[in-house]
Structure 1
Amino acid sequence: QLVLCAEPGGGGWEPAAALMRRRCLRSSDVGVCPLCRKVVEYGVCCAACGGWFHATESCCGEALADAFLRSGREAWCCLNCAPRNEPPPATAAASEKTPAPAALTADLASWRHAFRLLADACGGCGRQIQLARRHVRCAQCDLAFHASEECTGLSAAKVEGACSDASWRCPTCLLHETGCTVPGGVIDEDVAKGKETRPIPIINEVDEEPLDVHLPGRSAITEFEYLPQVAWRHKRAIEQRARVPLADWGGRCIAHEACSWLPATDASRGRPVRREEEKSGGPAYNNERFLLYARDCIFECNSTSGCDESCFNRVVGRGISLPLQVFKTVGRGWGVRSRNPIRAGTFVCEYTGVMLRDEDAEAAGLEVDDSYLFNLDGEEKGQVAKRRKTSHEGPSGVDARTQDNPELCVDASRTGSVARFVNHCCDPNLFVQSVFVEYSRHVHRIALFAARDILAYEELTYDYGYVVGSVQDKTLACLCGAANCRGTLV
């Protein structure tokens, strides 16, 4: 809807075109901006005090956004007048005189968008659009862009096609509708093939590389099998699974004591051990299912608990709830992002694959891509990390490599979840949390949680936890680009 504003001394209300108009030269005081004390040649007028302001954030502040998002029947007031004065209603004649075009509704455009529409400014650089120059206009939001690679973000060939295409849509409109900034960028509607509660599309906005391309030492995405949970397929891993004790809570909900337990031991006969520190207990999540603190391990309610699926202590076991995307990065392969903002403590995804015994993974040699192995280190279940060690190394702990408690690892080289596409970063926005759901010892979920608030379409990353120098005669460069980048992974 259009925003109405009043002109001092004028007769009634006028449409939003008055927001960017020449001021009324009543006196020198009216023509000076109260904030910057400079003459206002074009600007906005407050309906309460009659003052003119430059239509900029520095002069109007948050009130500028309010001007373009208000209803057409309301007047605009500056920040000084808005809290103390109710704007007078607009006359019915003014409302009937100027119908509200759909392009200016708050549902279709932000106030910045509306400002550029009224000012006829480029949606890319923000400068004035000169009709004599070549430009392209979005058929959906009506924003104009200079016909250049810098303003449109398109290649020279695609800019030429957009100039002659009356149905061309800008990258912002495409992103809101399809989750991709280029036409045809969605190359697979769902990498999970319906195995998750929400589809996870594959996006390529970088090049024309097909999904069935084979990279050196890696398989194509088309040969990738999606697993929402860890699979037990190896014979010796299945035998080991039969010896893993289950977490049996006897019909009791542990929502308020999820952090009060440690993994089971031989002395506890498969039952979780209560922590000795009183302050270490309590719930793991709040009522909105956000993780409160990062812990060495936490326990979630399962089928043996007396609660239902609405219990706030059922998070990782419920699966992915965010609108995630697998997208092509520039120079770093595939990555993962979310279409919605993510709050700190939100569960993002679980690292899954085929469960293997550590010695079997090493025996596989080159048949297993080492970069997709995730270690579960003996009884120290909080110490989970991507695998980077050689076959001649010794055991990582006192309980490692024994018949009753062998080291386990998750192989996601050919099977796994969306987490296998999450890249490394030395300054990550995700972190790994060990979560016990079905079992009380040896086997836990490898869950990725948000370490901070994350913007929409920001790449999701976590620290792989590689130890520099852990592999002899081998280095792996880090391409994360963070300010505190270590330079190498191993």
Structure 2
Amino acid sequence: MEQGLDSESVPTSGSFDKSRVLNVKPLRCLVPIFPSSSGAPAFSSSQAAPFVCVPPTGPFPPGVAPFYPFFVPNDSQRPAEQGPQNPFVTNHAGSFGFNNPVQSPVPLNSFRTPTQQAGAANGDRGTSRRSRMAGTNVAEDGNSDSQDQSDQYLSGFSMHVTDAEDTSVAGARKGKSRGRTRSAQQVKSPVYDVDIDTVVNNFLASFNLMAFDMLKQAEDDCGLVGYVLMIFDLLRRRISQIEDAKEATPGATRRPDLRAGAIFMKKGIRTNANKRIGAVPGVEVGDIFFFRMELCLVGLHAPSMAGIDYMSVRITGDEEPIAVSIVSSVGYEDDGDDGDVLIYSGQGGIFRKNEQIIDQKLERGNLALEKSLHRGNEVRVIRGMKDVANPTGKVYVYDGLYKIQESWVEKGKTGCNVFKYKLGRLPGQPAVFTLWKSIQQWKDGLTSRTGVILPDLTSGAEIQAVSLVNDIDDEKGPAYFTYFPNLRYLKPFDLPKPSLSCTCNGGCHAGNPNCPCVQRNGGYLPYTALGVLLGYLSLVHECGSSCSCPPNCRNRVTQAGLKVRLEVFKTKDKGWGLRSWDPIRAGSFICEYAGEVIDISKAEELGSENEDIYIFDTTRTYQPLGGMPGDINGSPKTPFPLVISAKNGGNVARFMNHSCSPNVFWQPVLRESNNECYLHIAFFAIRHIPPMQELTYDNGIVQNDKADQMRKKCLCGSLKCRGYFY
């Protein structure tokens, strides 16, 4: 860590000379100091200013508990499978997931843990609310992915693997001398359960990781970033599903995102490992992320907790830090209401309960921002927005490149001096934050959506209004059809054997051995508490009408109607399309395909007419989605072949266009009731989808002698476009 101005040397805002940086020592001369076994700081260098930290491996002072992934069992507590041959055992000499470790002036994150008596100022990025969130147990996939909570479990990847997670036998022996010995009760945690390791091994073994290397060689940056994020989220959801079925450990917060991210870093499944100034290949302005680990994996922002990312550059023989990216989240003293200007608060600054005030210092990220002001380099800005679907979560939006225009020091809300940095957005970039603000104003009724034909296409049939919008030409709407939100059967399918309905009066629970609906899904619930599908399945079994569980049961996700605010809009060259005002998380339910179930022969007759017939056919062949393991991604074998026509009546799904590189996939969902079953087609997001991005799925390929007559020219515009669709 570099040494900046002493707190007593920071002038007031009126006398602060921003052109001078005083008493700054080289960053590389300082070494983090961990407490000795006696509890006193052990100084590594008499010349370096002390930087007292809580080491990730202990010993821990009173009130500070060990946290994942540094929670290492001893020999007697380690599962047999976690020996040196385990592919997930840490390499003793390696660095944590970096193929080419980046020279950084200081560790990307410190392991400072504030005491219960200390509370940080709003400007303190990384330690501001950790103490208040300690001990919080948040539901799976409903966690608050804040900088502070993330730091409880994973403070960054700049440390060596041996310091982070050495699970070998030798590592355990070394850990004893470092105070790592834990009782059997302490290490009993789901994240270290052998079943999780087996799941991870099987997942990576079944996944086509050759595609990752092929994308690297092809230099398809967008495809590579999308692929990494897709398989990361699949693994995260799978781990979440396994842990969800286990009994929670009191006082422990489950973070499958950090578990999956740590595995990916160790395996080298990431992109843009080297830090860089400016744009990141494969990441586009407006892209969204729901986990800080995703920012790390694609090289957009390396620290998993800190708000300022920086690197060392050599100028005239000396190294100095410059900022490369910042995360501006709600809850700090940032002023981000302007879409082109951001007032960003520095890091540090503490207000203790004994009224002791510690001002921010011109060091670490603050110094890097000050240097970037004088150097004039571009800085990536990621804005943390509230997640409307998850009150405790955030959506991280990449807002593009900014330059620092000005800096000063002012008194913060808690009384300590805070560094302020004014950043201006570079012109010529797509509107992002201003678009999000406009959408919120549409929702609040403060402004009107341009081009609205109907405020609610569904006439109240859906719980969420669906706008009909045309800001392209004078067309007043699609051809007439009857809107209804559900699938209409002439006759349900008969079950080959009687089925049992559940009696879960309070709702189905994961891992319940007495719930027949849970057992039909392999012993797990297929959805998280937020309604995110936990895996790509051949078939999802939802609770039926004869089940005793309530309408808000976690196993009735597709029956609860629309969860996001959609609009049907006129495209430039593909007729009418569908998109969302809300950001959509990967795996989230969007809508089902409503219409009338028809005979397959009738579908072929309609197809021969070569018009917009609004047909969905489960018997078609579907392209795999990026080498995902399993089922639905290829040609799924549904238990009951289903053909749906939405020509005369249906819902918003009839407006979803085809794409050879879709962002939505379909999932067969079965609901059983009174020995009858109803198969439904539900659409879920393949990846995170930003607001106002068109929703598309793959129409599939027809395999019959009339296929040539049914072909249409494809206008999806993707790099993988087949040139036609059906």
In structure 1, the partner of 2:643 is 409
In structure 2, the partner of 1:137 is none
Partner Cα distance (1:259, 1:203) in 2: 46
Partner Cα distance (1:283, 1:422) in 2: 28
Letter in 1 for 2:601: E
Deviation at 1:62, TM superposition (A): 5.2
Letter in 2 for 1:225: T
- Contact 1:258/1:300, CA 8 A, preserved across alignment: no
Partner Cα distance (1:353, 1:325) in 2: 19
Deviation at 1:411, TM superposition (A): 0.8
- Contact 1:357/1:407, CA 8 A, preserved across alignment: no
Partner Cα distance (1:331, 1:197) in 2: 30
Residue 436 and residue 480 in structure 1: after superposition, are their counterparts in 2 closer, same or farther (change >3 A)? same
Q: Do structure 1's residue 314 and structure 2's residue 556 form an aligned pair?
A: yes
Residue 363 and residue 304 in structure 1: after superposition, are their counterparts in 2 closer, same or farther (change >3 A)? same
In structure 2, the partner of 1:335 is 577
Deviation at 1:245, TM superposition (A): 5.5
Letter in 2 for 1:23: S
Residue 14 and residue 208 in structure 1: after superposition, are their counterparts in 2 closer, same or farther (change >3 A)? farther
In the TM superposition, 1:157-196 aligns within 5 A as 173-178=437-442, 184-196=450-462
Deviation at 1:171, TM superposition (A): 5.6
Offset from partner CA, 1:130-168 (integer Å, 9 cap, x none): xxxxxxxxxxxxxxxxxxxx6899xxxxxxxxxxxxxxx
Deviation at 1:363, TM superposition (A): 5.6
Partner Cα distance (1:462, 1:421) in 2: 11
- Contact 2:351/2:357, CA 8 A, preserved across alignment: no
Residue 363 and residue 464 in structure 1: after superposition, are their counterparts in 2 closer, same or farther (change >3 A)? closer
Deviation at 1:366, TM superposition (A): 7.1
In structure 2, the partner of 1:226 is 483
Offset from partner CA, 1:166-209 (integer Å, 9 cap, x none): xxxx766434322799962222211111111111112333x123
Deviation at 1:444, TM superposition (A): 0.5
Q: Do structure 1's residue 352 and structure 2's residue 594 form an aligned pair?
A: yes
In structure 2, the partner of 1:429 is 663
How many residues matched? 354
Residue 438 and residue 320 in structure 1: after superposition, are their counterparts in 2 closer, same or farther (change >3 A)? farther
- Contact 1:244/1:442, CA 8 A, preserved across alignment: yes
In the TM superposition, 1:42-441 aligns within 5 A as 59-61=322-324, 65=328, 69-70=332-333, 76-77=345-346, 88=358, 125=427, 173-178=437-442, 184-205=450-471, 207-212=472-477, 220-221=478-479, 223-232=480-489, 238=490, 241=491, 244=494, 249-253=500-504, 255=508, 280-362=522-604, 369=611, 371-377=613-619, 408-438=642-672
TM-score scaled by structure 2? 0.39
Deviation at 1:287, TM superposition (A): 3.3
Select the structure of larger CA radius of gyration.
1
- Contact 1:429/1:451, CA 8 A, preserved across alignment: yes
Partner Cα distance (2:701, 2:453) in 1: 32
280-289 or 341-350: which moved more? 280-289
In structure 2, the partner of 1:476 is 712
In structure 1, the partner of 2:133 is none
Residue 14 and residue 258 in structure 1: after superposition, are their counterparts in 2 closer, same or farther (change >3 A)? same
Partner Cα distance (2:603, 2:345) in 1: 68
Letter in 2 for 1:185: G
Instruction: Report the 3-state secondary structure (helix = DSSP H, G, I; strand = E; otherwise coil) of the residue aligned with 1:472.
Output: helix
Structure 2 residue runs without a partner (length 5+): 27-102, 106-122, 125-276, 278-307, 311-321, 336-342, 361-383, 387-396, 407-421, 624-636
- Contact 2:330/2:385, CA 8 A, preserved across alignment: no
The alignment-based identity, stated in percent, is 26
2:19 equivalent among 17, 23, 31: 23
Offset from partner CA, 1:353-409 (integer Å, 9 cap, x none): 1222233445668789564112255xxxxx7879xxxxxxxxxxxx99xxxx99652
Offset from partner CA, 1:239-265 (integer Å, 9 cap, x none): xx17746986345349469999xxxxx
Letter in 2 for 1:446: I
Partner Cα distance (1:294, 1:25) in 2: 55
Offset from partner CA, 1:71-117 (integer Å, 9 cap, x none): 69x995458x8999x97469xxxxxxxxxxxxxxx999x9979x889
Partner Cα distance (2:399, 2:357) in 1: 23
Deviation at 1:457, TM superposition (A): 2.5
Partner Cα distance (1:370, 1:112) in 2: 38
Residue 335 and residue 87 in structure 1: after superposition, are their counterparts in 2 closer, same or farther (change >3 A)? farther
- Contact 2:482/2:648, CA 8 A, preserved across alignment: yes
Residue 316 and residue 23 in structure 1: after superposition, are their counterparts in 2 closer, same or farther (change >3 A)? same
Structure 1 residue runs without a partner (length 5+): 38-45, 48-53, 91-105, 126-149, 154-169, 213-219, 233-237, 261-270, 378-382, 387-398
Partner Cα distance (1:334, 1:406) in 2: 30
Q: What do you get for the CA RMSD once the two structures are aligned?
A: 5.5
Instruction: Report the 3-state secondary structure (helix = DSSP H, G, I; strand = E; otherwise coil) of the residue aligned with 1:459.
Output: coil
